[in-house]
Amino acid sequence: MPEVVLAHQVDFATWRSACRHFVLAGVEPEGLHWRVAATVQDTPWSAGLSQILPANPANPAPMSLSRRFVGVLGQALQVRDPARFTVLYRILYRLTHDGLELGHTHDPDLMWLRQAVMAVRADTLRFREVFSAFSAQKAATILHDTPEHYSLEANARYAMQRNARPWRVITPYRRMEWTGSAIRFAAGENATPDDAAVQWQEDGTGIWRGYALSVLPPKRGDVAQAASLAMLSAQAVDCRACGLWQPASRTVFGEGPQSASIMLVGEQPGDQEDQQGRPFVGPAGQILDNALHDAGLRREQIYVTNAVKHFHFVWKGTRRLHQKPEAEHMAACRVWLDAERRLVSPALLVMLGATAAQSILQKPVTISRTRSRLFHLEGETQGLVTVHPSYLLRLPDEASRLREYARFVEDLRLAAQYQSPAD
């Protein structure tokens, strides 16, 4: 009986290549054995794979699978079920040879497939919320987790984008680490309890080629029902509502306590924010931090976010130059801003600049006409419009910068009246 040895539990590349070969060769599911390698030396991988595949497949025509269905197979391969390789192979075999249709609602194999995908998705969402909460703890670098399924590797891209700082996730079956420049994998605690004995292997090398990635673009209903900022920020990583996600490095979500009395809304992340994955960490962020301090506020007490969550820029040589977000970008991100406001429910919402004010108030805003006065928003929230701190960076002379910085601090002192003593 032919045997396929997979490099690891989610070795989708080898599984898919073997399926293509054996299905087209007409090898029935009962005539094929699957197992996961016990060691790296035990793994056939690319060179060894050709030794276990038939040299002359009966039907050389390629299999035609939709991209969506391939994604479903990649998710199902993560389910913690020893029979998953066989069941998924049997589905492909039946699609090719027995006329199986994916719309067959009561077919046992397809029912298993739907249940497997649902279980993996639930485990993925659970991990993402846990990782998002872990990432909000800026000093934390190691997360211990126990996933129900083999879902860690598929979340490598998500985790790297959600948290740009170096971190490590340790689970019973796998370790995963972001060094700040690369993802690495190693055996989990069950196989290698001693951290000193761990042997890391970089993503894209050796056996770590071709595992499936989980991409879960959020639905509006999911965003509206998110029960925590951790869940909300986890959902935002895979947002595809506008085209800004493609050139940007990552979604830059808000940060701060969900119980904050004051919420600051800026325009969009800049170059440094896009790289670090945190709002207001560039030059404008330094001015904001100084002004908050001078106004008697602390950054960690305030929820800080942007109207648009991706960096809009154009290249000039090797530099990325900021571009003002367009109406379509603000409209696409409105669902996130609404959800943040719902969860934080601030006593005061401070709009930093015209873009933030336009996004919140849903109309064009002239800063000079609306600045430095309080007005009522929805519910129990008051609003305050002031300049964006980047405005201070663009002033032409020191006297102007000092004068406008003092006005900015005064606006923030007005905001400080809404700071809760509990904060």
Taking only the tens place, the pLDDT of each residue in 260-301 is 999 999 999 999 999 999 999 999 999 999 999 999 999 999
Pair 80, 150: CB distance under 8 Å: yes
Distance (Å, whole) CA 127 – CA 129? 5
CA distances from residue 211 to 10, 150, 203 in whole angstroms, order as listed: 6, 11, 10
pLDDT of 275: 96
Distance (Å, whole) CA 75 – CA 116? 8
pLDDT of 60: 43
- Can you list the domains of the chain with their CATH numbers? 3-118 (no CATH), 242-416 (3.40.470.10)
Q: Specify the DSSP element, H or E, that contains 120.
A: helix 108-136
CA dihedral of 152, 153, 157, 162, whole degrees rounded to 10: 20
C-beta neighbour count of 205 within 10 angstroms: 11
pLDDT of 399: 95
Q: What does the DSSP assignment read for 228-292?
A: SHHHHHHHHTT--SSGGGTTSSS----BS-TT-SEEEEES---HHHHHHTSSS-SHHHHHHHHHH
pLDDT of 421: 78
Q: Answer yes or no: is pLDDT of 41 > 60.
A: no
Pair 201, 272: CB distance under 8 Å: no
pLDDT of 55: 42
Maximum separation of any 2 CA atoms in the chain, in Å: 83
Average pLDDT over residues 126-142: 95
Q: What does the DSSP assignment read for 27-49?
A: --GGG-EEEE-SSGGG--HHHHH
Nearest to 145 by CA among 189, 101, 186, 107: 189
Beta-strand pair 142-144/167-170: parallel
Residues 160-185 have pLDDT tens digits of: 999 999 999 999 999 999 999 999 99
Distance (Å, whole) CA 278 – CA 162? 9
Beta-strand pair 201-202/262-266: unpaired
Q: Answer yes or no: is pLDDT of 415 > 50.
A: yes
Distance (Å, whole) CA 117 – CA 91? 14
Distance (Å, whole) CA 261 – CA 300? 12
C-beta neighbour count of 58 within 10 angstroms: 9
Round the average pLDDT of the chain to a whole number and report it.
92
pLDDT of 62: 58
Q: What does the DSSP assignment read for 51-95?
A: HHS-SS-S--SPP---HHHHHHHHHHTTSS-TTHHHHHHHHHHHH
